[in-house]
């Protein structure tokens, strides 16, 4: 497992965590925003009219309505990224990360407009008579880059597991365990069965599920979030100030939060923004390609609304809940996951400014300016508690407190071996107080409103609906990619493997799953961004032609 983790971290360093990636993603969005004269503002009102069917034609080709295409695409984007992803971004980068999620969403509205328009324009019908579209089709049919299309389709299949399936399953399981004490094994089995019932029915059943779930789940979650924010109304303005203030300087150390550099907050904010709204990834373009319209640009305009709803509205509400409640700087009792735990040499305290600075550099610039070394040695444990030694435990980017050790729910007594900062005995259960992240952080935040402890049920129910619909939508993206690569006869096998992957992720390490999602998301995004940049002139001409032919009813 350690080798796998190291390999994934190394791979991510050249993809989503690399310095060039945020600039490639935001740069592409900025270029098209200027090149197409701010379509996310100029066409915003028109997009709502298209969505509501004002310009629909009964004889247009397609499988689903504009609304169904949007809700399916939103089902794919409005998921754990809005609940757990925002919490993860703030946990990693502080308030500044939310600012960069906003920027990613604003520029992403244009990127989404471009990728959806081009994907819809070059869609085809498959052997079963259903529409098949997505970046792989414009790559092959317009760019004549079959190799790039195949690469994108392969990455789509991988990403359907890595970002559309497994993070959702894992976060559902964690949320249900935290709130209802349901073991992940049981929730994983039951929900895998439900996922199978839906996705084996194909696109028709999928859109019928998503068009009902998305509006309901969004309303429930928004009302719950507002109840917490209004309860902590005195912190609303300070929260916005911290988001803006830290945007270009990095987030300062507060409470148990040890601070984040500008580069770290910027990278994680952009990365989580992409995971949330998928603008530039090319995924939701696959859903929009099935829409009933003969005008690709009109469907592209509908897609402009996605990042706005997903990130600027829902993610902002989640961020304000977390920031206004103050839970992002507090330590909570939790079970330590191996991936998030490190033993370092020396005794460090948060009250010592020099120690805080050293830990800041270790967490944000480890390997470059880092003076902290990992601990190796033996630690004596008596009745579940460690005898004092020259080491400090870092868990979830914070100094761990009140740490206990157990095996089979019984306090452990004996010696434990630490090698290069890692606990050798994986059977030991380590618990203590530290910062928390992902859905667990959001759950704690929702208990700080008028609903009190009942607030966690809003998160768990919202998460269940959000994540379930995302899993369903991404199964469609994956089977369209499989159809492109191998034909429709392989789709059933893919769906079965997809269900198995959903179950496996429900009992896996949370941080490992999030790392996998970051990698797979980036794998799809890079070839898609390259593709739409090649077609910039065609995109501009296509938009111009749409308005020249436009006739108001």
Helices 491-506 and 166-180: crossing angle in degrees, nearest 10, is 40
Element (DSSP H or E) covering residue 298: helix 296-307
pLDDT attached to residue 509: 66
Same domain, 406 and 270: no
Residues 60 and 161 in one domain: yes
Q: Which of residues 385, 413, 434 is at a domain's end?
A: 434
Is pLDDT above 70 for 530? yes
88 inside domain: yes
Please answer whether residues 446 and 456 qualify as being in contact, where contact means their C-beta atoms are separated by less than 8 angstroms. yes
User: For residue 440, is it within any domain?
Assistant: no
pLDDT classification of 441: cutoffs 50, 70, 90: very high
Q: What is the pLDDT confidence band of residue 452, given thresholds at 50, 70 and 90?
A: very high
Both 257 and 236 in a single domain? yes
Stretch 357-365: mean pLDDT, rounded?
88
Query: 321 and 374: one domain?
Result: no
The percent of residues in the chain predicted with pLDDT above 70, rounded, is 96
Same domain, 326 and 337: no
Burial of 205 (0-12, 13-18, 19+ CB in 10 A): middle
Residue 439 lies in a domain: no
For range 406-434, the mean pLDDT: 93
pLDDT of 226 higher than 80: yes
Q: Do 274 and 184 have their domain in common?
A: yes
Residue 366 has pLDDT above 80, yes or no: no
End-to-end CA distance of the chain: 61
**Mean pLDDT across the stretch 340-367?**
89
Same domain, 220 and 152: yes
Residue 495 lies in a domain: yes
How many CB atoms sit inside 10 A of residue 96's CB? 29
How far apart are alpha carbons 82 and 86 in whole angstroms? 6
What pLDDT score does 367 carry? 56
Backbone φ and ψ of 145, nearest 5°: -115, 75
Separation of alpha carbons 443 and 418, rounded Å: 32
pLDDT at position 368 over 60: no
Please indicate, yes or no, whether residues 461 and 399 belong to a single structural domain of this protein: no
Q: Which domain holds residue 56?
A: 2-330+445-549
**Could you tell me what percent of the chain has a pLDDT over 90?**
53
Are 105 and 127 members of one domain? yes
Q: Average model confidence (pLDDT) for the chain?
A: 88
Please state the three-class secondary structure of 503-529 as a single string. Answer: HHHHCCCHHHHHHHHHHHHHHHHHHHH
Which CATH number does the domain housing residue 187 bear? 1.20.1740
Residue after which a domain boundary falls, among 402, 434, 466: 434
Residue tagged 């959000």 (tokens)? 466
Q: Rounded mean pLDDT of 1-10?
A: 71
> How many domains are contained in the chain?
2
Q: What is the pLDDT of residue 13?
A: 82
Token pair in block for residue 307: 């990042």
Average of per-residue pLDDT across 247-265: 90
Mean pLDDT value of segment 373-393: 93
pTM: 0.85
> Is position 513 within any domain?
yes
214 vs 217: CA distance, rounded Å: 5
Element (H, E) at 76: helix 66-77
Does residue 542 sit in the same domain as residue 395? no
Q: Last residue of a domain, which of 413, 434, 455?
A: 434
3-state secondary structure 35-62: HCCCHHHHCHHHHHHHHCCCCCCCCCCC
What pLDDT was estimated at residue 55?
81
Residues 401 and 496 in one domain: no
Query: Could you report the per-residue pLDDT of 199-222, keeping only the tens digit for each?
Result: 887 767 777 777 787 788 888 889
Tokens for 134?
């997505």
Distance CA 408, CA 428 (A): 8
Residues 247 and 301 reside in one and the same domain: yes
């Amino acid at each position: 497992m350690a080798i796998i983790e190291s390999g994934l971290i190394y791979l991510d360093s050249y993809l989503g965590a690399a310095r060039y990636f945020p600039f490639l993603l935001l740069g592409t969005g900025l270029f098209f925003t200027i090149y197409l004269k701010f379509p996310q503002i100029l066409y915003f009102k028109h997009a709502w009219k298209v969505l509501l069917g004002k310009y629909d034609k009964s004889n247009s080709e397609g499988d689903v309505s504009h609304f169904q295409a949007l809700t399916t695409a939103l089902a794919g984007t409005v998921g754990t990224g809005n609940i757990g992803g925002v919490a993860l971004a703030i946990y990693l980068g502080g308030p500044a990360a939310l600012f960069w999620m906003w920027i990613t969403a604003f520029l992403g509205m244009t990127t989404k407009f471009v990728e959806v328009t081009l994907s819809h324009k070059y869609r085809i019908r498959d052997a079963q008579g259903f529409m098949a579209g997505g970046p792989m089709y414009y790559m092959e049919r317009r760019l004549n880059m079959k190799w790039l299309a195949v690469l994108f389709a392969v990455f789509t299949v991988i990403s359907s597991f890595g970002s559309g399936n497994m993070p959702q399953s894992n976060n559902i399981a964690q949320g249900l365990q935290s709130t209802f004490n349901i073991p992940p094994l049981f929730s994983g089995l039951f929900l895998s069965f439900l996922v199978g019932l839906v996705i084996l029915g194909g696109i028709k059943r999928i859109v019928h599920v998503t068009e009902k779930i998305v509006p309901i789940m969004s309303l429930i979650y928004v009302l719950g979030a507002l109840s917490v924010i209004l309860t902590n109304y005195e912190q609303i303005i300070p929260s916005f100030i911290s988001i803006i203030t830290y945007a270009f300087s990095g987030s300062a150390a507060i409470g148990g939060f040890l601070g984040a550099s500008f580069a770290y907050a910027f990278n994680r904010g952009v990365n989580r923004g992409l995971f949330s709204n998928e603008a530039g990834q090319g995924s939701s373009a696959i859903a929009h390609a099935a829409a009933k319209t003969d005008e690709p640009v009109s469907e592209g305009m509908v897609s402009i609304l996605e990042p706005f709803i997903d990130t600027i509205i829902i993610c902002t509400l989640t961020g304000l809940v977390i920031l206004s409640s103050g839970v992002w700087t507090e330590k909570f009792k939790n079970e330590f996951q191996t991936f998030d735990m490190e033993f370092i040499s020396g005794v460090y305290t948060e009250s010592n400014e020099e120690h805080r600075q050293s830990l800041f550099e270790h967490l944000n610039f480890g390997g470059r300016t880092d003076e902290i070394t990992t601990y190796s040695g033996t630690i004596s444990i008596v009745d579940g508690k460690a005898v004092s030694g020259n080491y400090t435990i870092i868990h979830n980017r914070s100094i761990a407190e009140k740490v206990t050790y157990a095996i089979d729910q019984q306090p452990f007594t004996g010696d434990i071996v630490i090698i290069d900062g890692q606990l050798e005995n994986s059977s030991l259960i380590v618990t203590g107080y530290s910062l928390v992240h992902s859905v667990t952080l959001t759950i704690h935040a929702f208990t700080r409103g008028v609903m009190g402890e009942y607030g966690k049920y809003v998160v768990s129910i919202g998460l269940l609906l959000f994540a379930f619909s995302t899993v369903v939508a991404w199964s469609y993206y994956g089977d369209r990619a499989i159809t492109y690569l191998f034909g429709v006869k392989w789709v059933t096998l893919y769906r079965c493997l997809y269900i198995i992957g959903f179950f496996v992720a429900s009992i896996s390490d949370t941080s490992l799953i999030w790392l996998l999602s970051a990698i797979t998301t980036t794998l799809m995004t890079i070839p898609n961004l390259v593709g739409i940049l090649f077609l910039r002139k065609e995109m501009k001409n296509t938009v111009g032609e749409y308005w020249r032919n436009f006739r108001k009813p």
